[in-house]
Structure 1
Amino acid sequence: MSETRARRSRSGGGAARRAERTAVSVETERYIERNIPLYEFLDEATLEIIEYNAETVLEEIGVNFVDSPEALERWRSVGATIEGERVRIPRGLARELCKTAPSKFVQHARNPERNVEIGGKTLVTAPVYGPPFVRDRDGGRRYATLADFQKFVKLGYMSKYLHHSGGTVCEPTDVPVNKRHLDMLLTHMVYSDKPFMGSVTEPSRAQDSVEMCEILFGKEFVQNNTVMTSLININSPLTFDSIMMGALEVFASNNQASIISPFIVGGAMAPVSVVGTLTQVLAEVLAGIAYSQIIKPGAPVIFGTFVTSIDMNSGAPTFGTPEASQILYGAGQLARRMNLPFRSGGGLCGSKLPDAQAAYETANTLNAALLGGVNFMLHSCGWLEGGLVASFEKFVMDA
């Protein structure tokens, strides 16, 4: 009898080992921890001038919070001056409100081994965000579908050096807009166990994202831990619309992270100079992060910067240029002075094809992101056509 039990035990152990050998296992590198010195592009005097002028912009020009009476009343309650939809923020108020934002936080994944720390010396890489078009070898350039979205999420999961599943890795245009966010978020939850981003295209969709996470992680866990990151873009110059602010309110009130990110094209929506653009970047970020802390002190946020310049001859945006790198370096310094995580960079280029132009412009931006102290990097795998196209071929090579 004892011999029979022993044989069964050995047989079970062998079956377990065989199952382990045949199981699909995708290796992912731990998020990067930088040990190299950062590039301090701006000196102390220049940084102080930018900070002073940014607060002058908030105090004398102000920021528009449109179609949101609730936001205006919240600002009034903390001491801002309201004129119509214009909020003028007294010097020092926004910076004081920002002090409650954490310097770093953990975003939890479905698989705890994939948790990431955002802030400090860490660098977390995520895929491309937002392109409506894809390009593949057979179909060429075309509108993206849900099937494309699912393939990109699977490829991102398979990539050893992507620490994050991202958000809108492409726009599945074959799904109605009012339910598209549900399919996209479900795809991240089912086909990857890495951290992911929530929907921001409408406040109710942000709430749907929170409720789906409560199903996946448990309601109590979500209320006490950060399981989502979201991208809150500012309508530069100096305008916050009700959709973005509504989404920010949902994420902040539920302890979920938001990237407060101006979307600036220098020379079009901001001054042509590097220092002038950084002044506007800081003013907009200060207002957005301060508002998140009015909603919930301690809500996790990321100081975001997505800046490029415009070709003054053609009007086309440019990527991988010296000006964009200088703005990235300066914004990183400003974020560190506020003791906040920093988002910028990625594999950005303006090329139409994965060619030499795409390679050198992408390399320039990736190098700037590393030296500039980026903590959360969207578009890590690159893009084409100034962000309009995600390429299967390039993504497969990266993955």
Structure 2
Amino acid sequence: MHARNPENDVTIGEGGSVAAPAFGPPNVATFEDGRRNSTLADYEDLIKLTQLQDQLQVASYTTCEPHDVDQAVKHLEMISRSLTLTDKPVMSSNYGADRAKASLEMAGIVHDDPDLSEPYVIGLANSVPPRRWDARMAEGLMVHARHGQPIVVSPTVMSSASGPAPLAGTFALENANILFGITLAQLTNPGTPVVYGPQASNIDVRYGSFATAGPERALSISFTGQMGEFYDVPTRAGGGLTDSKTVDDQAGAESMWHLDVTTRSGVDFVIHAAGVLDSYSTVSPEKLVLDCERLRYLERYREGYDLSEDAFALDLIRETDPDDHFLNERHTLTHSKSEYLFPELYTRKSYDDWTDAGSKDGFEAAHERVVELLAEYERPELDPDVRQDLDAFVEEAKADIQS
């Protein structure tokens, strides 16, 4: 996928995971306000945070669902902000032909490529399990396919509700939904880039609630990686998933575990990689930066360790007295900077130093980091004429819809 800034171009399906933050939550939860309906200002802040986090390579379309904007033109307001507040690749609206076309036209404007000769956006197409496709989703998928823009085919079968209780039956049903979407894309335009994206979850039958972060979800993620290998297509699954309602131990444990399983399963594209709370229904800017910290840990783990002669440091070990230490050695200072990850949010201070600094827990530390990042944010450069053309398109499209 091509970004406005070529340094941010990404390839999905050639090793490593490409990550995008939350997608679709109608609520936002912040350190100061708690949980509330999300706004367009929240959406802007989340796009800015995405721009500033190296662990997120793609900006989601609906990082949150703003409630303070006309729903008929919401997609125009959101896509235009995605394309201007970040110079990373962005996700597009797939809900109907008109919204998909508008997304692609706006991408063509900012990339000065109205014919869309390259993949600039990626859409997300959801079926309606058990065995139905909404006409608008199918139309959006076909619009993306006609223009050669990649599409993630991603049903969300809920075991015990829209799918059978056993995981095997749920996986079979998801596979059928996905293969239909992939086939439709290829019939529309052979060679359309597609991503195999099952998102199986289950219902907790005790409460009738959506469960996104149990061990069965981890098995679904593993299944996705294996099916991607079987069909030889890129995959989408997993993320920083949790059913917790707030930024607490449950949120951290569930998110870290599912991110770990996602990377170990070889998943290529990870939506909901950061920021998600409450079974997809809430996004938290503080959790977004905490999830990015978790992603940094996993990146470091995947790097492994150096086995060079210099790394073994056998000469230094021989030269050091049995009762001496290595703290003052130049070798130690040099390798400490390259060998070890230094967390930005997790504390390693002594108890006294931590107390003197205000006894802040992870949630408060994350809030302070969010405030710092938003203060540091600078809008990526965009040619004024291009911005004028984009704004003109948005205003004309809004007028047509609202007339």
Q: Deviations over 1:314-368 (max 9, x none)?
A: 1112232221111221122112111100000001110111111111111221111
SS in 2 for 1:276: helix
The change in CA–CA distance for 1:398 and 1:360 in structure 2 (over 3 A counts) is closer
1:195 alignment partner AA:
P
Tell me how far apart the structure 2 counterparts of residues 151 and 255 of structure 1 sit (CA, whole Å): 30
- Partner AA of 2:112 in structure 1: G
Paired position in structure 2 for 1:140: 34
Give the match's secondary structure for 2:286.
Answer: helix
Q: Which amino acid aligns with 1:310?
A: I
TM-score by length of 2: 0.70
Query: What's 1:205 paired with?
Result: 99
Q: CA deviation at 1:398?
A: 4.6
Within a 5 Å distance, the mapping from 1:107-146 to structure 2 comes to 107-146=1-40
2:353 matched to which residue of 1? none
Other-structure match for 1:225: 118
Residue number in structure 2 paired with 1:95: none
User: C-alpha deviations, 1:70-118, integer Å up to 9, x for none?
Assistant: xxxxxxxxxxxxxxxxxxxxxxxxxxxxxxxxxxxxx110001100000
Contact 2:126 2:154 in 1 (8 A): yes
Deviations 1:254-278 (Å, cap 9, x if unpaired)?
1111100011111111111121111
Task: Give the Cα separation in 2 of the matches to 1:126 and 1:289.
Answer: 22
The structure with more strand, counted as a fraction of residues: 1
User: Structure 1 residue 173: deviation in Å?
Assistant: 1.1
Match 2:50 to one of 135, 156, 167: 156
1:182 aligned onto 2:86:
no
Q: Which amino acid aligns with 2:155?
A: P
Pairing 1:273–2:147 present:
no
Q: List aligned pairs for 1:28-177, cutoff 5 A.
A: 107-177=1-71
Q: Separation in 2 of the partners of 1:366 and 1:396?
A: 14
Q: Deviations over 1:11-68 (max 9, x none)?
A: xxxxxxxxxxxxxxxxxxxxxxxxxxxxxxxxxxxxxxxxxxxxxxxxxxxxxxxxxx
**1:300 and 2:189 equivalent?**
no
Counterpart contact for 1:332–1:373, Cα < 8 Å:
yes
The residue that corresponds to 1:22 in the other structure is none
Q: Which of 189, 194, 201 does residue 88 from structure 2 map onto?
A: 194
Amino acid at match of 1:379: H
Cα-to-partner distance string for 1:132-182 (whole Å, 9 max, x where unaligned): 111123322111111110000001101121111121100111111111111
Q: Against the structure 1 CA distance between its residues 338 and 272, is the aligned structure 2 distance closer, same or farther, given a 3 Å change threshold?
A: same
Q: 1:368 and 2:281 equivalent?
A: no
- Taking the aligned partners of 1:393 and 1:383, their CA distance within structure 2 comes to 10
Q: Who is 1:344 aligned against?
A: 237
Are the counterparts in 2 of residues 321 and 364 from structure 1 also a CA contact under 8 Å?
no
CA distance, structure 1, for counterparts of residue 285 and residue 174 of structure 2: 33
Q: Name the counterpart of 2:143.
A: 250
Percent identity over paired residues: 35
Q: Which amino acid aligns with 1:312?
A: V
Question: What's the offset of the Cα at 1:187?
Answer: 0.9
1:371-382 maps to which residues of 2 (within 5 A)? 371-382=264-275
Note if contact 2:276-2:288 (Cα within 8 Å) is conserved in structure 1: no
Q: Which amino acid is 2:184 matched to?
A: Y
Paired residues of 1:320 and 1:360 also in contact (CA < 8 A): no
Structure 2 gap segments, 5+ residues each: 293-403
2:19 partner letter: T
TM-score by structure 1 length?
0.71
The answer to whether the 8 A contact 1:237-1:270 is kept is yes
The SS at the match of 1:135 is strand
Matched-pair contact (CA < 8 Å) for 2:91–2:121:
yes
Aligned counterpart in structure 1 of residue 207 of structure 2, from 314, 318, 324 = 314
Matched length = 292
Q: CA deviation at 1:190?
A: 1.1
Q: Secondary structure at the match of 1:340?
A: coil
For residues 309 and 231 of structure 1, what CA distance do their matches in structure 2 show? 21
Q: CA deviation at 1:385?
A: 1.1
Q: Deviations over 1:216-243 (max 9, x none)?
A: 1133561x21101011001011100111
